[in-house]
Chains A and B, each alone.
Chain A
Amino acid sequence: MSSFVSFTIIGIVLGSTYAIAASGLVLTYATSNVFNFAHGAVGMVMTFLYWELYVHQGWPVWFVLPFILLIVAPAFGLVMELLIMRRLTTANTTTQLGVTVGLMVALIGAGQLIWKPGGRRVDAFFNGSKVSFGVVNVTAQQFITLGLALAVALGLYVLLNRTRIGTAMRAVVDNRELLALHGARPNVLSGLAWALGSSLAALTGILLAPQLNFDHTTLTFLVVSAYAGAMVGRLKSLPLTFVGAIALGLLTEYGQWLYTELPTSWITDSEGVIYGLKNSLPTIFLLGVMLVLPQEKLRVGRVTGTKLPRIPSWRTTMLWSAALLGGSYLLTGAMGEANNARFGQTMCLPLIMLSLVLLVGYGGDVSLCQLSFVGVGALVVARGFDIPFTGLGFHSQISPLSIVTAFLLTAVVGAIVALPALRLRGLYIGLGTLAIAGAMDRSVFESGLVGFGAQGSTIQVTRPSWLSTERSFALAVVVAFVVTAWIILAIRRSKYGRILLATRDSQAACATLGFSTTMTRVAVFAMSAGLAGVAGVFFAGMSVTPGTLNFYFFQNLPLLLFAIVFGVTSVTGVLTGGFVYGCITSTFIVGQHPDLVGLAYIVVLVMLRLLVNNPNGLVGLLFDQSRRIMSRPDAVSAPPGSAAAREPYPATAGLGLEAPVGSA
Chain B
Amino acid sequence: MALLEVDDVHVRFGGVVAVNGATFDVDEGTIMGLMGPNGAGKTTLFNVITGLQAPTSGTVRFDGKDLKKVHPRLRALGGIGRTFQRLEVFGSLTVADNIRVAAEMRGIENPARVRDELLDRVGLRAFAHVTADSVPTGIARLTELARALAVSPRLLLLDEPSSGLSEVETEDFAVLVRSLAEDDGRSVLIVEHDVELVLGLCSQIHVLDFGSIIASGTPDEIRKDKRVQDAYLGADEAAAAEIEEAV
A interface residues, Cβ below 8 angstroms from B: 298, 300-301, 304-308, 495, 498-499, 501-502, 504-506, 508-516, 642-643, 646-647, 649-657, 659-660, 662-664
Contacts and interface: CB of A to CB of B under 8 A. Distances in A.
Contact of A510 (B105, B139, B148): B105
Contacts of A651: 126
A511 B71 CA distance: 9
Given A304-B89, A514-B76, A660-B134, A654 B168 contact: no
B130 A300 contact: no
Contact of A301 (B86, B164, B172): B86
A647 B130 contact: yes
Given A506-B89, A513-B148, A654 B123 contact: yes
Interface in B89-122: 89-93, 97-98, 100-102, 104-106, 111, 120, 122
B173 A655 contact: yes
A505 B93 contact: yes
A544 B50 CA distance: 56
18 contacts: A298-B72, A304-B133, A305-B131, A305-B133, A307-B92, A501-B92, A505-B89, A509-B144, A509-B147, A511-B52, A514-B73, A653-B125, A655-B169, A655-B173, A657-B169, A660-B136, A664-B136, A664-B137
B137 A513 contact: no
* Residue from B90, B137, B168 having most chain A Cβ neighbours under 10 A: B90
A512 B71 CA distance: 10
Nearest to A304: B91
Contacts of B120: 654
A301 B86 CA distance: 5
Contacts of B73: 510-511, 514-516
Contacts of A301: 84, 86, 88
B78 to A, nearest CB: 8
A305 B105 contact: no
| Main SS class of interface, B | helix
B52 A508 contact: yes
A509 B90 contact: yes
B48 interface: no
B77 A660 contact: no
Contacts of A513: 76, 81, 102, 105-106, 147-148, 150-151
Contacts of B24: none
Contacts of A510: 73, 105
Contacts, number: 169
A653 B127 CA distance: 10
B54 to A, nearest CB: 10
Nearest to A515: B105
Interface in B210-224: none
A291 to B, nearest CB: 20
* Residue from A499, A513, A642 having most chain B Cβ neighbours under 10 A: A513
Interface in B41-88: 47, 50, 52, 71-74, 76-77, 80-82, 84, 86-88
A304 B140 CA distance: 12
| Main SS class of interface, A | loop
Contacts of B227: none
Assign chain B's interface to a size class. 35 or more
A509 B73 CA distance: 10
Given A505-B90, A512-B50, 5 more contacts: A301-B86, A307-B91, A498-B104, A508-B72, A513-B150
B135 interface: yes
A304 B131 CA distance: 12
* Residue from B102, B111, B140, B169 having most chain A Cβ neighbours under 10 A: B102
Nearest to A505: B90
Contact of A660 (B71, B127, B142, B148): B127
A515 B92 contact: no
A652 B76 contact: no
B195 interface: no
Given A306-B91, A510-B105, A515-B73, A656 B168 contact: yes
B106 A514 contact: yes
A505 B132 CA distance: 11
A263 B20 CA distance: 66
Nearest to B172: A655
B124 interface: yes
B129 interface: yes
Nearest to B128: A650
A300 B76 CA distance: 16
B75 to A, nearest CB: 8
Question: 5 tightest A-B contacts by CB?
Answer: A305-B91, A654-B123, A514-B76, A655-B123, A301-B86
Contact of B93 (A298, A498, A654): A498
Contacts of B139: 657, 660, 664
A656 B125 CA distance: 11
Contacts of A646: 134
Given A505-B91, A513-B102, A664-B139, A305 B130 contact: no
B129 to A, nearest CB: 6
